[in-house]
Amino acid sequence: MTSASEAALVLPALRGVMGDWVYYSCLMDLGNLAKRVRYAEEVHKNESLSKMIQRRLNSGRSTQIAEYLRSQPERFFNSLVVATYKGEPNWFALSNIRSHANNKELQDLDEVTLGSVGFLTLSGDEELFALDGQHRLAGIKKVIKDGIDQEVSDEVSVILVAHKDTQRGLERTRRLFTTLNKTARPVSKGDIIALDEDDVMALSVRRLIEDTDLFSGKRVAFVASNNMPSANTTSLTTIGNLYDILMILFSSAKTDLKKSRADLQRVRPKDEELKQYFELAETFFVAMRDNFPELKAFFSAKDTTAPVKKFRGSHGGSALYRPIGLEVFARIIASLTTELSVKDAVARAAKLPTKLSEAPYLGLMWDARNQTISNSHKVTLRETLLYMLGKSKYSEATLLERYKKETGDDKVSLPKKIK
């Protein structure tokens, strides 16, 4: 609750109606947002329910959003939805304060239009709480608390709706709160890869496709998931899988560029550092090409149809021509970088078998009877391959037990280690 009345505030605003809600779309600067708007604890009178909302906000998101506000010149937010009650909000339409300027276009505006444009005044006694955009509000509060160097304070679009402190009013506001948060959908992976200008993996994927021959043309399937279309006979993998591989490389491999997934997705690095990420991605795939014969056949071919048909199909082929296989190898290589460079880690991993018809893929990744790929045993497959290199995190007994159980063969033995 606010301990004292804030100063009166005049906000430029638009007045609108949707359903039985009257709302005001206003501009509010970061300082006033941080000072005047609280979280949605008022949605619930029950203290435990209010704390559930607070716990959801106690994540790293506020720090990430604060850093975004502090460091991104092209920062932008969509509107926050804020409920207001108590105090004396007042609406002054332009129809009540019509300009005397000799402007024919403005003079010809009808009363409905003029009545939708004006100013909303807040006396300072209002209680304001966010119904939608609470993580953004948490980031705003943090950046204002920690300090932000701006010549002109950012203005954020805020949609104000009226809340009544009655049982009916609480039900109505709770319904709006859940509607706004339940119907919100995250940006799709495909849209991120195609459009995001901060996500390091998305930027690197696009550059691999646009600026190199590695994945130009039909060499990559423009599918946002890891499911390769069965009819595809030209692509090594999908853009979704390419994105995931770079995420593993950038967040798990021990390099000077290693960062958390959240930072890689939300904080665009400076151009020189971004160039280094792209060079790391290119280095990785060039090393894969140079060390795995089946990949060399793909990357060196003008027409990739022949190698794809040879190494992917109902007959099985190579694990590296399947998105799951590339992901497993990316994780193995990332694990090996604790002792080796990325290039040397790839060379070491290249000593492993890749034929789906052989151990350890048979029964874990490749179902020979149904001629299908299984995604259910990735951990055991990865650890078995790492065991063959002497690097599994499991003991031999534990891994053997998992291997027998997941292959469905009580008599099977672990594959031999590779020297």
In this predicted model, what pLDDT tens digit does every residue of 183-235 receive, in sequence order? 666 778 888 898 888 899 999 999 999 999 999 989 999 999 899 998 999 99
pLDDT tens per residue, range 28-76: 999 899 999 988 665 555 555 455 555 556 556 788 888 888 888 888 8
Instruction: Give the phi and the psi of residue 78 in degrees, each rounded to 5.
Output: -80, 175
| Local confidence band at 327 (pLDDT 50, 70, 90 cut-offs) | very high
| Local confidence band at 100 (pLDDT 50, 70, 90 cut-offs) | very low
Strand partners, 26: 13, 158
- Indicate the DSSP class of residue 318: B
- Give the C-alpha separation, 321 to 73, whole Å: 41
- Indicate the DSSP class of residue 218: T
pLDDT tens per residue, range 339-377: 999 999 999 999 999 999 999 999 999 999 999 999 999
Cβ atoms of 384 and 332 within 8 Å: the answer is: no
> What does pTM read for this prediction?
0.74
- Helix (H) / strand (E) element for 159: namely strand 155-162
Q: How many CB atoms lie within 10 A of CB 241?
A: 26
- Give the C-alpha separation, 256 to 374, whole Å: 34
- Give the C-alpha separation, 243 to 325, whole Å: 14
Whether pLDDT at 324 is above 80: yes
